Amino acid sequence: MKKIYITKPYLPPLEEYINTISSIWQNHILTNMGPLHKEFEQKLTQFLDVPFCLAFANGHLSLEMALQALDMRGEVITTPFTFASTTHAIVRSGLKPVFCDIREDNYTIDADKIENLITEKTCAILPVHVYGQICDTEKIEEIAERHHLKVIYDAAHAFGEIKSGIGIGRFGDLSIFSFHATKPFNSIEGGAVAFSNYELGAKLYQMKNFGFMGEDMVCSVGGNAKLSEFHAAMGLCNLKHYEEICAGRKRVVDRYREHLGKIPGLKLLTEQRDVKENYAYFPVVFDEMLFGENREVVYNRLKEHGIYARRYFYPLTKDFLCYKSAFQRYETPIAEQITENIMTLPLYDSLQLEEVDKICEIILKR
């Protein structure tokens, strides 16, 4: 029996990748911001339509260093309905996460509940574009401006998306992206920070390269978050196929909607108005009373048939063992309800429609 996993990383034609990396055998430059890395950053800046963009070894380090580059102290208002990386980056940067509840319609941070959490210790807001659903950027940035707070968007799920004609990387003080193998666009491992402040970019550059700003000039305390030439090459190849990848994923999403869109007890995300999507994930929320089964039953039935969905995000980051007694308990009833009932289904551009039909048949086989 063929197994179907939650995702299948996109790989460009082998010959294309080999042609791209052939220059490495000529110049022997493997890392340290080589020519492929520089080209990748240039192409990313153009593609994302942002003033500046720096590539990083992965999305997590891009977020950690974005936070540290802002030189903040205190509390960061964020969401517990996210991947571990978001909360870990806040804590590892010496900051305290303050957890805000999420919206019931698209699971992003509830901007209407942010202001009640602001104190004299608040220094920033860190919203997450969940599943490619875009946050209420207008309200978030209005609040931030009024209270003199920084805004850092975790756009790991939102690469390539456009809101009302504006590239998603243009919002906030900084936006970070992940190019992990599981994402619609990948460089195997990789990430990026998009920003508009040139001086902030100089700090980020130093931070990802041990603080160096010249051959023997170390200007600050930095780490190592450089992207290798091989990863940059994969990114350059996959960027050429991005629209093709999204079209394939949309085809799968449309098929899921055909089967599951009108089933009582199954809640699907709706398309956001004026947003160009990347079809990153396909989450389903199960209402046991209406559907007749809970998420766990369906999750295990799929697994018995060799289909590996994911309880994502589960649990909430504030409920991780490492955080349960570390921070104040914040009331997030909607996030708690969603995390107990949500499941993301397999989604990738090469998933066959017949396989989608099979997945849906098993879900609906009660």
CATH class of 242-363: alpha beta
Q: Hunting for tokens 């698209």 — which residue is that?
A: 106
- Which CATH topology does 14-240 take? Aspartate Aminotransferase; domain 2 (3.40.640)
**Per-residue CA distances from 352 to 252, 287, 300, 334 (Å):** 8, 28, 22, 34
What pLDDT shows up at residue 293?
A: 97
- In terms of C-beta density within 10 A (0-12 exposed, 13-18 middle, 19 or more buried), how is residue 64 classed? buried
Does the pLDDT value for residue 360 go beyond 80?
yes
What pLDDT shows up at residue 260?
A: 98
- Our measurement of the distance from residue 36's CA atom to the centroid of its chain's CA atoms, rounded to an integer in Å, reads 24
Task: Record the tokens describing residue 46, joined without a space.
Answer: 């153009």
Calculate the CA dihedral of residues 39, 45, 49, 53 and round it to 10 degrees. 170
Calculate the CA dihedral of residues 291, 109, 205, 26 and round it to 10 degrees. 20
The C-alpha atoms of residue 320 and residue 191 are separated, in whole angstroms, by: 25
What pLDDT shows up at residue 278?
A: 98
What is the average per-residue pLDDT within 2-18?
A: 97
Does the pLDDT value for residue 167 go beyond 70?
yes
Among the listed residues 187, 188, 193, the one whose alpha carbon sits nearest the alpha carbon of residue 205: 193
Does the pLDDT value for residue 329 go beyond 90?
no
What pLDDT shows up at residue 1?
A: 63
Burial 224-261 (b: 16+ CB within 10 A, else e): ebbbbbbbbbbbbbbbebbeebbebbeebbebbeebbe
What pLDDT shows up at residue 207?
A: 94
The C-alpha atoms of residue 245 and residue 241 are separated, in whole angstroms, by: 6
Other C-beta atoms lying within 10 Å of the C-beta of residue 292: 12
| Domains of the chain, residue spans | 14-240, 242-363
Task: Find residue 194's DSSP bridge partners.
Answer: 53, 175
Task: Record the tokens describing residue 6, joined without a space.
Answer: 């939650």
Other C-beta atoms lying within 10 Å of the C-beta of residue 168: 28
DSSP E strands, the chain: 52-56, 75-78, 96-99, 122-126, 150-154, 162-163, 166-167, 174-178, 191-195, 266-268, 275-276, 283-286, 342-344
pLDDT one-digit tens code per residue, 271-322:
999 999 999 999 999 999 999 999 999 999 999 999 999 999 999 999 999 9
The C-alpha atoms of residue 250 and residue 220 are separated, in whole angstroms, by: 45
Instruction: Work out the pLDDT band at 188, boundaries 50, 70, 90.
Output: very high
What is the percent of the chain where pLDDT is above 90?
A: 94
DSSP collapsed to 3 states, 70-120: CCCCCEEEECCCCCHHHHHHHHHCCCEEEECCECCCCCCECHHHCHHHCCC
Q: Which residues have CB under 8 Å from 105's CB, separation 6+? A: 270
What is the percent of the chain where pLDDT is above 70?
A: 100
Does the pLDDT value for residue 150 go beyond 90?
yes
Other C-beta atoms lying within 10 Å of the C-beta of residue 215: 5
pLDDT one-digit tens code per residue, 221-260:
889 999 999 999 999 999 999 999 999 999 999 999 999 9
What pLDDT shows up at residue 326?
A: 83
Instruction: Work out the pLDDT band at 98, boundaries 50, 70, 90.
Output: very high
Helix (H, G, I), strand (E, B) or coil at 37: helix
> For all residues of the chain together, what is the average pLDDT?
96
DSSP string covering 106-164: T-SB-GGGTGGG--TTEEEEE-B-GGGPPP-HHHHHHHHHHHT-EEEEE-TT-TT-EET
What is the average per-residue pLDDT within 40-69?
A: 98
Side chain identity at 35, as an amino acid letter? P
Q: How far apart are the two ends of the chain, measured CA to CA in Å?
A: 22
